[in-house]
């Protein structure tokens, strides 16, 4: 079969959307053919205005929750994927792949084993390695984690600095894009993170000065302070990675003999095949572990995928139940108008017209609720995204996607079909007996 697969994804999605709307549209056009029920529908909307409003809110809320969850979950996955973009390969001492990923990509405090200087040097010298950047963690200033690394890594992560300059000597710092520190601000790193940080551990260490600001990355790194790795080691009273006659050296090459341990190395290889080669070389080495953070995250999402499906199913079910109970409510309301509807039959309206009036009223109410819910769901997802971005530093945008549009289109068809029910019941009961005087 050619044709379908030749279409662009957008076209496919748009056509699926139309196909999902199809049954509802067909039901509507069959029911409404030749009729103009809208004056009566407007009368019903006005007659029961508060109840109608309540029903719209109920249906909107149930739709919004469903849409919000789906949009938010996808945004979270995309944000996570973007955050791992610059971390092709991470090499560390053997341990938990997830811990290493969380520490390096998301700057979460983790207990990690260290690689020694000679292993570091060996990895750096592996064929195909274009960049081998050490990362050290453990200090903080206020709520900002401090990461020790090299200027080459800063450039790899975010490109040229957005403001100021790169550090040239120990004691100079570069701040993340959103960190509220400005040039010239001085600070003394505290040992540890947050509440547990030991403010006085590095008392007497030289004050560090902000000299540059990194371009925005949309990752937790935007809220970090980056120091030359030599500075961090120095603050901790360790060797600085360089022989005593080269203390002014910043970044590579390091001198294995003078290198304290490194928990994480970010490796960039010259090509994709080279990346795989380096990974398999160091994954099979007993001293090390070589992790693709992207793969770690997708493994995580795969596990959560079932949860996602279950969640969508539950929220769809809830939506269906809300719609059904609202239709039951509408049926009761419309019984109050039984005599007027019977009158339509007396005036010569076919039973299908009564069906059309009731169907239009119910379907319109539910459709309005659904569309309001779609908009509210997008708003809800945006609010959630903002909150999650604020909490984690991972920039995520929840946008409306085809999945939500498909869900909405399918739901609209379902409500169009369900609305036939009260229409059918009322039109059968729009009995002249109701007119007895």
Q: State which residue, 86 or 339, has the beta carbon closest to another protein.
A: 339
Query: Cα-Cα-Cα-Cα dihedral of 377, 382, 385, 389, to 10°?
Result: -170
Does residue 346 belong to the site contacting another protein (CB under 8 A)?
Answer: yes
Q: Which of Mg ion, another protein, none interacts with 339 (beta carbon under 5 to 8 A by kind)?
A: another protein
Query: What's the half-sphere exposure (Cβ side, CA atoms, 13 Å) at 416?
Result: 19
Size of the site for another protein (CB under 8 A): 28
**CB of 23: closest distance to another protein in angstroms?**
25
Q: Which of residues 25-84 bind another protein (CB under 8 A)?
A: 34-37, 39-40, 42-44, 46-47
What are residue 304's DSSP bridge partners?
none
Q: State which residue, 238 or 435, has the beta carbon closest to Mg ion.
A: 435
Q: Which of residues 418-437 bind Mg ion (CB under 5 A)?
A: 437
Which backbone phi and psi does 286 adopt, to 5 degrees?
Answer: -70, -20
**CB of 331: closest distance to Mg ion in angstroms?**
29
Q: What is the biggest distance separating any 2 CA atoms in the chain, rounded to whole angstroms?
A: 112
What are residue 48's DSSP bridge partners?
none
Residue in the structure block whose two tokens are 């609010």: 383
**CB of 433: closest distance to another protein in angstroms?**
10
**CB of 437: closest distance to Mg ion in angstroms?**
5
Does residue 236 belong to the site contacting another protein (CB under 8 A)?
Answer: no
The C-alpha angle with vertex 401 and arms to 223 and 406, in degrees rounded to 5, equals 155
- E strand segments, 38-182: 89-92, 129-141, 144-149, 163-164, 172-175
Which CA distances in Å does 150 have to 67, 182, 251, 288, 422?
43, 21, 5, 21, 70
**CB of 42: closest distance to another protein in angstroms?**
7
Alpha carbons 154 and 437: distance in angstroms, whole number: 87
Q: State which residue, 40 or 322, has the beta carbon closest to another protein.
A: 40
Alpha carbons 227 and 225: distance in angstroms, whole number: 7
Alpha carbons 423 and 420: distance in angstroms, whole number: 5
**CB of 352: closest distance to another protein in angstroms?**
9
Candidate list 357, 384, 398, 407; residue touching another protein; CB under 8 A: 357
Query: Cα-Cα-Cα-Cα dihedral of 11, 17, 23, 29, to 10°?
Result: -80
Q: Which of residues 305-344 bind another protein (CB under 8 A)?
A: 339-340, 343-344
Q: State which residue, 303 or 347, has the beta carbon closest to another protein.
A: 347
Which x/- pattern, by CB under 5 A, does the window 378-417 give for Mg ion?
----------------------------------------
Candidate list 345, 370, 378, 407; residue touching another protein; CB under 8 A: 345
Ramachandran sector of residue 99 (left: φ over 0; alpha: ψ -120 to 50; beta: rest): alpha
**CB of 3: closest distance to another protein in angstroms?**
39
Applying CB under 8 A, the residues found at the interface with another protein are: 34-37, 39-40, 42-44, 46-47, 339-340, 343-351, 353, 357, 432, 435-437
Task: Enumerate binding residues for Mg ion (CB under 5 A).
Answer: 437
């Amino acid at each position: 079969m050619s044709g379908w697969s030749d279409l662009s994804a957008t076209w496919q999605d748009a056509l699926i959307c139309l196909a999902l709307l199809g049954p509802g549209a067909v039901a509507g056009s069959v029911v409404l053919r030749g009729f103009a029920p809208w004056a009566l529908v407007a009368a019903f909307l006005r007659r029961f205005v508060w109840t109608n409003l309540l029903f719209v809110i109920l249906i909107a809320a149930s739709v919004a929750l469903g849409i919000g969850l789906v949009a938010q979950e996808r945004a979270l996955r995309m944000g996570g994927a973007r955050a791992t973009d610059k971390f092709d390969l991470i090499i560390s001492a053997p341990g938990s792949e997830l811990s290493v990923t969380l520490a390096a990509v998301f700057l979460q405090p983790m207990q990690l084993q260290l690689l020694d200087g000679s292993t570091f040097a060996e990895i750096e010298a592996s064929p195909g390695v274009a960049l081998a950047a050490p990362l050290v963690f453990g200090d903080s200033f206020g709520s900002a984690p401090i990461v020790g690394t090299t200027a080459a890594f800063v450039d790899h992560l975010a490109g040229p600095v957005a403001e100021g300059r790169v550090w040239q000597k120990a004691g100079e710092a570069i701040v993340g894009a959103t960190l509220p520190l400005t040039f010239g601000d001085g600070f003394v790193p505290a040992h540890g993170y947050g509440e547990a940080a030991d403010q006085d551990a590095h008392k007497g260490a030289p004050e560090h000065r902000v000299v540059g600001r990194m371009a925005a990355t949309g990752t937790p790194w935007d809220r970090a302070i980056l120091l030359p790795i030599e500075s961090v080691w120095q603050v901790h009273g360790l060797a600085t990675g360089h022989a005593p006659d080269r203390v002014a050296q910043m970044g590579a090459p390091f001198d294995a003999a003078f290198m304290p341990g490194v928990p994480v190395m970010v490796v960039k290889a010259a090509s994709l095949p080279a990346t795989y080669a380096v990974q398999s070389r160091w994954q099979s080495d007993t001293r090390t572990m070589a992790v693709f953070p992207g793969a770690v995250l997708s493994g995580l999402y795969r596990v959560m995928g079932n949860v996602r499906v279950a969640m969508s199913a539950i929220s769809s079910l809830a939506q269906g139940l809300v719609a059904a109970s609202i239709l039951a409510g509408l049926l009761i309301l419309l019984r109050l108008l039984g005599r007027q509807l019977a009158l339509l039959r007396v005036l010569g309206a076919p039973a299908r017209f009564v069906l059309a009036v009731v169907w239009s009223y119910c379907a319109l109410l539910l459709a309005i609720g659904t569309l309001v819910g779609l908009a509210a769901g997008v708003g809800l997802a945006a609010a959630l995204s903002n909150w999650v971005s604020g909490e984690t530093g991972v920039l995520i945008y929840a946008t409306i996607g085809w999945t939500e549009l498909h869900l909405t289109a399918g739901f609209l068809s379902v409500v169009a079909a369900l609305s036939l029910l009260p229409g059918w019941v009322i039109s059968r009961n729009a009995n002249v007996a109701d007119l007895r005087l």
